[in-house]
């Protein structure tokens, strides 16, 4: 959808794929390295088990006795439509060595704050063009038409030269990748076969938090493994360039489950298992699935044209925290704060400005900044939308005609971190003519020195101050005037290395 990415430069946000080719895994935050092709361990008794003590009961087993869904029937009826996918391709030796270094060290560097390295790529050897080496990986998928259409994750088949699909009856077919959409992590495969078992597709729209769901896939290569759990949340936005409002569950999903179906209690597919949150590379209770409604829209476009199209608005947005909410006189810290508007973009033509807070799109609430890419990215290019915004303490509306993300290869909006400490302390000077030319800024102030709350909030010497609480500033007097109207916090719009971001500062 081509939102403009916001650094900080150390912010690492990525959709992650496990396995030697990135085809066997699920996304996670990790501090240890793992491989989808690692040999399976031998499962023993639980660590706390002892003679004379009752064996622990899995939640699904306990719930079944209390009238839970018949998971056995769902697995029996829908399992034959789930396939194992094996991929092979080439990756560079340089990335291979880097992955081996991580494996030898046994750990990755811990993030410096909750935003940094929130998602790291989990993949095996490979990744570049230098000295390519053959690699392989595994994933899952499911059949959606009797003549061989298969849905899976885009990261499962990323960089694959050969794709092999294995059915539950042990037959194997070479598959063609009809298309893959990295923005939603959906891919469509085709095998030459007929009269195949087909998974029943449902809808995630009526899914409720707390509802039982079941996953079938090939974790660590163990084909047609079944796991069950409940829906933990809906519409979850992840800071990874994705345009997907994820379904969060506590279903056990591991490397190899990627691309496999998530079923509801009716035995209908309501999601594609795609990501996990983990510090180890394995399941830790947080799994994320792509809603099937999103996947089917992408599939229809890929089957028709070979690729999927997504809309773009042309803004950089960041999260609204409590300090920013107070600075912009918002009742609650909700919405997507516009930090930058691309010139000539749909947002620019609609009259959006830095400092606007987008609260609704066609009446749909935007609670977190990550909600905006998911809503815009799923819209069709050329669609006219109404944006409900908050500007200078007042509600307003703007109408925008969305552009085509394919015409502007830009990443989705990323949530930028913001701090909220202490007292304000800035030494400012006017921009020199050569600085105006080099930065592309006509009006603003160079931050010469930083102390107090501004320094703690992440403001750096050399940053260019553009506005205070949404009011443009071109001289020190304008800054002082804006500060006299400030309450407990102020929001500074600064430009650094060509990127713009709002930084909230507590006044104490």
Q: Does residue 55 lie in a domain region?
A: no
Statement: residue 79 has pLDDT above 90: yes
Q: Does residue 50 lie in a domain region?
A: no
Report, as an integer, the average pLDDT of 21-27. 38
| Residue range 204-221, pLDDT digits in tens | 988 999 999 999 999 998
Instruction: Indicate whether 130 and 273 sit together in one domain.
Output: yes
Give residue 241's pLDDT. Answer: 60
Report, as an integer, the average pLDDT of 163-192. 95
Statement: residue 274 has pLDDT above 90: yes
Report, as an integer, the average pLDDT of 134-155. 92
Statement: residue 362 has pLDDT above 90: yes
Q: Does residue 53 lie in a domain region?
A: no
Q: Does residue 162 lie in a domain region?
A: yes
Q: Greater confidence, 375 or 60?
A: 375
| Residue range 52-73, pLDDT digits in tens | 445 455 554 454 444 578 999 9
Statement: residue 41 has pLDDT above 50: no
Instruction: Indicate whether 193 and 73 sit together in one domain.
Output: yes
- Count Cβ atoms below 10 Å from residue 100 Cβ, excluding itself: 13
Statement: residue 420 has pLDDT above 80: no
Instruction: Indicate whether 141 and 167 sit together in one domain.
Output: yes
Instruction: Indicate whether 399 and 433 sit together in one domain.
Output: no
Question: By C-alpha distance, which of 196, 183, 188 is closest to 151?
Answer: 188
Instruction: Indicate whether 393 and 434 sit together in one domain.
Output: no
Last residue of a domain, one of 407, 441, 464: 407
Q: Does residue 52 lie in a domain region?
A: no
Statement: residue 18 has pLDDT above 50: no
Q: Residues, the chain, total? A: 508
Cα separation, 87 vs 37, in Å, equals 12
Give residue 17's pLDDT. Answer: 33
Statement: residue 391 has pLDDT above 90: yes
Statement: residue 50 has pLDDT above 60: no
Give residue 14's pLDDT. Answer: 28
Residue-averaged pLDDT of the chain: 77
Report, as an integer, the average pLDDT of 11-29. 34
CA distances from 34 to 13, 31, 107, 257, 282 (A): 19, 10, 10, 15, 8
Instruction: Indicate whether 462 and 489 sit together in one domain.
Output: yes
Instruction: Indicate whether 402 and 454 sit together in one domain.
Output: no
Instruction: Indicate whether 250 and 266 sit together in one domain.
Output: yes
Instruction: Specify the DSSP class assigned to residue 28.
Output: B
444 Ramachandran zone, left/alpha/beta (phi>0; psi -120 to 50): left
Instruction: Indicate whether 209 and 110 sit together in one domain.
Output: yes
Q: Does residue 45 lie in a domain region?
A: no
Give residue 415's pLDDT. Answer: 34
What's the CATH number where 266 sits? 2.40.10.120
Segments of 237-351 assigned E as strands: 246-249, 261-263, 269-276, 287-291, 311-312, 315-319, 336-341
Q: Does residue 220 lie in a domain region?
A: yes
Question: By C-alpha distance, which of 199, 134, 125, 190 is closest to 163?
Answer: 190
Q: Does residue 416 lie in a domain region?
A: no
Structure token digits, residue 124:
């095996």
Cα separation, 182 vs 276, in Å, equals 17
Number of domains comprising the chain: 3
Structural domain range at position 141: 7-37+62-305
14-18, 42-46, 185-189: range with lowest mean pLDDT: 14-18
Instruction: Indicate whether 72 and 219 sit together in one domain.
Output: yes
Instruction: Indicate whether 259 and 392 sit together in one domain.
Output: no
Q: Greater confidence, 216 or 448?
A: 216
Instruction: Indicate whether 87 and 228 sit together in one domain.
Output: yes
What's the CATH number where 325 sits? 2.30.42.10
Catalytic residues: 155, 185, 258
CB 31 within 8 A of CB 282: no
Segments of 282-414 assigned E as strands: 287-291, 311-312, 315-319, 336-341, 357-361, 364-365, 384-391, 394-401, 403-404
Statement: residue 27 has pLDDT above 70: no
Give residue 60's pLDDT. Answer: 47
Report, as an integer, the average pLDDT of 379-397. 93
Cα separation, 223 vs 447, in Å, equals 59
Statement: residue 138 has pLDDT above 50: yes
Cα separation, 311 vs 313, in Å, equals 7
Last residue of a domain, one of 305, 334, 352: 305
Q: Greater confidence, 95 or 13?
A: 95
Last residue of a domain, one of 305, 324, 343: 305
């Amino acid at each position: 959808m081509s939102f403009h990415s916001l650094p900080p430069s150390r912010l690492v946000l990525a959709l992650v794929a496990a396995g030697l080719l990135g085809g066997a895994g699920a996304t996670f935050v990790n501090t240890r390295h793992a491989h989808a092709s690692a040999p399976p361990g031998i499962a023993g008794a639980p660590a706390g088990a002892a003679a004379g003590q009752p064996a622990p009961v899995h939640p699904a087993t306990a719930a079944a006795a209390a009238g839970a869904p018949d998971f056995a029937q769902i697995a029996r009826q829908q399992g034959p439509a789930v396939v194992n996918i094996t991929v092979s391709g080439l990756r560079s030796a340089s990335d291979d060595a880097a992955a081996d270094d991580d494996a030898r060290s046994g750990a990755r560097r811990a993030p410096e704050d909750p935003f940094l390295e929130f998602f790291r790529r989990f993949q095996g050897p490979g990744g570049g063009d230098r000295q390519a080496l053959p690699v392989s990986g595994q994933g899952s998928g499911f059949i959606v038409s009797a003549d061989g259409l298969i849905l899976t994750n885009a990261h499962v088949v990323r960089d694959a030269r050969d794709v092999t699909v294995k059915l539950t009856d042990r037959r194997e077919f070479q598959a063609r990748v009809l298309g893959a959409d990295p923005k939603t992590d959906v891919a469509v495969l085709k095998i030459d076969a007929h009269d195949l078992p087909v998974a029943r597709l449902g809808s995630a729209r009526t899914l409720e938090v707390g509802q039982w769901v079941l996953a079938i896939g090939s974790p660590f290569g163990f084909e047609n493994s079944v796991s069950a759990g409940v829906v933990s949340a809906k519409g979850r936005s992840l800071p990874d360039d994705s345009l997907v409002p994820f379904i969060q569950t506590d279903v056990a999903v591991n490397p190899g489950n990627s691309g496999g179906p998530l079923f509801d209690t009716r035995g209908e597919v309501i999601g594609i298992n795609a990501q996990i949150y983990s510090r180890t590379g394995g399941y830790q209770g947080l799994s994320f699935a792509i809603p099937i409604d999103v996947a089917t829209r992408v599939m229809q476009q890929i089957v028709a044209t070979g690729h999927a199209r997504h809309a773009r608005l042309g803004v950089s947005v960041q999260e609204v925290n409590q300090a920013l909410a107070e600075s912009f006189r918002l009742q609650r810290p909700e919405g997507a704060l516009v930090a930058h508007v691309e010139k000539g973009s749909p947002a620019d033509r609609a009259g959006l400005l830095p400092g606007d807070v987008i609260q609704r799109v066609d009446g749909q609430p935007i609670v977190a900044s990550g909600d905006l890419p998911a809503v815009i990215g799923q819209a069709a290019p050329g669609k006219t939308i109404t944006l409900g915004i908050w500007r200078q303490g007042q509600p307003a509306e703007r109408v925008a005609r969305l552009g085509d993300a394919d015409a502007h290869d830009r990443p989705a909006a990323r949530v930028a971190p913001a701090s909220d400490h202490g007292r304000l302390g800035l030494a400012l000077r006017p921009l020199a003519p050569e600085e105006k030319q080099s930065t592309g800024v006509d009006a603003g102030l160079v931050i010469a020195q930083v102390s107090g709350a501004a320094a703690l909030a992440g403001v750096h010497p050399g940053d260019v101050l553009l506005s205070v609480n949404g009011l443009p500033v071109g001289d020190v007097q304008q800054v002082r005037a804006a500060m006299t109207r400030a309450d407990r916090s102020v929001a500074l719009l600064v430009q650094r290395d060509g990127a713009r971001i709002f930084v909230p500062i507590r006044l104490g």
